[in-house]
Amino acid sequence: MQDNSAKKSQLSHLNAQGEVQMVDVSEKGVTAREAVAAGQIKMQASTLTAIEAGNAPKGDVITTAKLAGVMAAKQTAHLIPLCHPLPLHKINVEITPDEALPGYHIQATVKTNAETGVEMEALTAVSVAALTLYDMAKALEKTMEIGSIRLVKKSSLVLGDG
């Protein structure tokens, strides 16, 4: 019993010699998993107005940022060294304007059936969607601020045998 508690207290990305390793999930069962991440990008009210009116110099800012978020979630294992490549079954990126901010709230929901979770994929989707918003609108404003990127929720449900 003492060995189990010692294993649990170890950092999962380090081996017995203290070297970086990918976590072994081969003994875990396939589970339905979902993660929701959120963040925001603050900007001047005039920048928000221009984006909402479709007057950004680079085109459709919101659609491009949503697609970038989806594409980023699918590439997470290529970007973060110890992430497992996962079959992603659903990726949804929502970008909502907020005049009080002013700016946008970004939320990504990612789902899979796998041995490990999709938190990093959801966080990556939000991060890259925010970066894309910045890139698409930087001709209007270079003082935009990306922040509050966080995991909002994660869940898993053990799947039945058929």
Domains of the chain: 30-155 (3.30.70.640)
Predicted confidence (pLDDT) per residue in 102-121, tens digit: 999 999 999 999 998 899 99
Say which of 3, 24, 60, 135 is annotated catalytic. Answer: 135
Predicted confidence (pLDDT) per residue in 33-55, tens digit: 999 999 999 999 999 999 999 99
Does the annotation count 98 as an active-site position?
A: no
How many CB atoms within 10 Å of residue 132? 24
* 29: DSSP letter: P
* Mean pLDDT estimate for the chain: 90
The DSSP-derived string for 118-143 is: -HHHHHHHHHHHHHHHHHHHTTT-S-
